A and B are shown apart, each in its own frame.
Chain A
């Protein structure tokens, strides 16, 4: 049985034919749409490497069936920069040395973007750490990750202010 779904993938509308309902959103991205920036770590919702935004909210793409996302707006790490201009979270990760091997980084960046949109953590590092606990980093770059998310949040707030001024 075939399933036709329609997704907005990094701003571009895509019509997708699925020949199997078992395909997760993660496998759809990596194996069928050639968007390999999103990583498969545990594939069981425990590590956060597969984090993407669905309709603006961060989720684990390994625990989402692609067929059930019909009509959704998906943002992956490939879609966050504007050409050569990095997203503020990406830039802050570089500035704060927020990674070593880099495998978890796409998920960390997407999770950081989601966290800033949610607006629950404020400037409290403890709340940032708590709200990032769904992303593991086996190199242990947590201190840099926390600093990067805090700084990116400030950068985004300042540029929002400039825009509305």
Chain B
């Protein structure tokens, strides 16, 4: 690990100023950043420790029905907040399907949004990677790429975004509050992460010094609480990143889907909202024919970036499974194996 300067500001304004210099990076719990620094993938000259900033560690339920989650709220605390689980069960299930208990205790909401791809070539400093070294090339293109992107990829980069949490969040129209040099602004989470195009080194629309201070879910997202699931295929049952995942939320009235929300993980450089598929579900009965059609639409533009054509079929099956399980009703308690398609004996609410 290369040496760095360490500062621990006490106000957001001081933090933004300290992080606005070239080579500076924010440090929250560091569960991803320290790993990258140890591997020689990231070498910040200055770490701006934000863990002591005031007011960023609260979950606030606002009068209008929305929820505002401070960027320093730990993943485990949000996933076990009883009111949050009731209102946004698919988000809690996604959180609990990710990482390990130790990592969820440390990792923050803001850090989860800012985590980097787990592409092995990005992580391996000697490999060519356009993210690490723009113009260097992409060793993943001709390498071990069965887990890489099938949507939105480019010749420059075929990496996927690793977050589970972000998948139901984009489906539910989450908004990110950002503090920067020119004050506070808000962006839809769906717009935060960028597709690679010719500039895969630019992963988000954040500028130098920008700090995520909070995440909000709108009141409308509560309307899906009775029919919401996050389903994730992994190469082992627990403590693994998604091969493919899907967040499905349905608003069902009198046996008809009034509104659907659908997003996929593990398929692209960003959490992938499937709006056309959502449209196809509005006004139809919650049955497997409609779910298959939605899955077909969601993956219609997919193409393999390597040895990963299987992910296109797998993603469609996971979409069908997530929609089927969502339509059966949100479980009364998050399953013992969160997000797992192999969970059994789950009781459903009516």
Contact = CB atoms under 8 A, between A and B. Distances in A.
A130 B337 contact: yes
A118 to B, nearest CB: 7
Given A57-B105, A59-B105, A60-B31, A133 B239 contact: yes
A130 B336 contact: yes
B53 interface: no
A58 interface: yes
Contacts of B49: 65, 67-68
B336 A133 contact: no
Contacts of A132: 101
12 contacts: A21-B3, A21-B5, A48-B102, A51-B102, A63-B103, A64-B106, A65-B30, A114-B102, A130-B337, A133-B100, A134-B239, A135-B100
Given A21-B6, A64-B29, A44 B35 contact: yes
A49 to B, nearest CB: 11
Nearest to A18: B6
User: Which 5 pairs from chain A and chain B are nearest by CB?
Assistant: A134-B100, A133-B238, A21-B6, A126-B336, A133-B239
Interface of B: 1, 3-6, 8, 27, 29-31, 34-35, 38-39, 47, 49, 51, 76, 80, 99-103, 105-106, 237-239, 336-338
A65 B100 contact: no
SS class, residues of chain B in contact with chain A: loop
B100 A63 contact: no
B118 to A, nearest CB: 12
B38 A44 contact: yes
A51 B337 CA distance: 22
B101 A63 contact: no
B7 to A, nearest CB: 10
A79 interface: no
A63 to B, nearest CB: 5
Given A59-B103, A64-B30, A134-B99, 11 more contacts: A20-B3, A21-B3, A22-B1, A43-B38, A57-B76, A64-B29, A111-B101, A114-B105, A131-B101, A134-B239, A135-B100
Interface residues of A, number: 37
Contacts of B103: 45, 59-60, 63, 134
Contacts of A114: 101-102, 105
Interface of A: 1, 3, 20-22, 24, 43-45, 48, 51, 57-60, 62-65, 67-68, 70, 111, 114-115, 118, 120, 124, 126-127, 129-135
A125 to B, nearest CB: 9
Nearest to A56: B105
B47 A63 contact: no
B336 A59 contact: no
Among B1, B39, B99, B103, residue most surrounded by chain A Cβ atoms (within 10 Å): B103
A63 B336 contact: no
Contacts of B337: 126, 130
Contacts of B102: 45, 48, 51, 58-60, 111, 114, 134
A133 B34 CA distance: 21
Among B3, B100, B238, residue most surrounded by chain A Cβ atoms (within 10 Å): B100
Contacts of B336: 124, 126-127, 130
A38 to B, nearest CB: 13
A130 B31 contact: no
A3 B47 CA distance: 14
B32 to A, nearest CB: 8
A115 B101 contact: yes
Given A48-B100, A111-B101, A133-B238, A59 B30 contact: no
A127 B76 CA distance: 15
Given A58-B105, A134-B102, A134-B103, A63 B31 contact: yes
A132 B35 CA distance: 21
A20 to B, nearest CB: 7
B57 to A, nearest CB: 13
A118 B101 contact: yes
Given A68-B30, A68-B51, A124-B336, A63 B35 contact: yes
B344 to A, nearest CB: 9
B147 to A, nearest CB: 17
Nearest to B334: A120
Nearest to B336: A126
A21 B76 CA distance: 27
A1 B30 CA distance: 21
A43 B237 CA distance: 23
A130 B238 contact: yes
Contact of B106 (A44, A48, A59, A111): A59
